[in-house]
């Protein structure tokens, strides 16, 4: 079974119906049909929540967050060990801390694919399999 990790940029592409939204929808549908496993770091989920609230307010945030992920998706907690591994990636690879959580999660399982619209991940493509969504 394919295992996908979505970062916040991929989910926001889906919410905004921008380039790559159809691919994210395919992954969400595969997860709902139990044909793929879907993970997102709680840190990345928080980024999505903040962005949606800033743009759509409290009611919009509740509406979007309650309907975006299938119940089969797994929001992975930021444990102490994960936080340290993400911090190490941040320092060693000069990347954002929240992005490091997505990368760490993708590195956690062999064959896992990180799906992103953030081309800053190009610099760490040697560490995990990364699928880049199209430019806007």
The DSSP-derived string for 13-25 is HHHTT-TTHHHHH
- 136 pLDDT more than 90: no
Coil, helix or strand for 133?
coil
pLDDT of residue 110: 85
Band of pLDDT at residue 33, cut at 50, 70 and 90: very high
For 53, phi then psi, to 5°, come to -65, -40
Mean pLDDT, residues 62-67: 91
Find out whether 22 and 134 touch, Cβ atoms under 8 Å: no
Q: How far is CA 58 from the centre of its chain?
A: 22
The residue segments making up the domain with residue 78 are 2-132
| Residue 70, domain CATH | 3.40.50.1010
Which residues of the chain form beta strands (DSSP E)? 2-6, 36-41, 74-76, 113-116, 129-132
Total count of domains within the chain:
1
pLDDT of residue 113: 98
């Amino acid at each position: 079974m394919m295992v996908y990790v979505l970062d916040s940029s991929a989910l926001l592409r889906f919410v905004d119906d921008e380039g790559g939204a159809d691919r994210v929808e395919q992954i969400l549908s595969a997860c709902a049909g139990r044909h793929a496993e879907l993970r997102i770091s709680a840190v990345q989920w928080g980024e999505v929540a903040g962005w949606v609230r800033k743009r759509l307010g409290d009611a919009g945030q509740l509406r979007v967050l309650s309907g975006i992920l299938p119940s089969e998706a797994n929001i992975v907690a930021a444990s102490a060990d994960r936080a340290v591994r993400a911090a190490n990636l941040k320092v060693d690879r000069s990347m954002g801390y929240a992005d490091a959580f997505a990368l760490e999660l993708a590195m956690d399982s062999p064959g896992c694919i990180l799906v992103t619209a953030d081309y800053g991940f190009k610099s760490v493509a040697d560490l995990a399999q990364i699928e880049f969504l199209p430019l806007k």
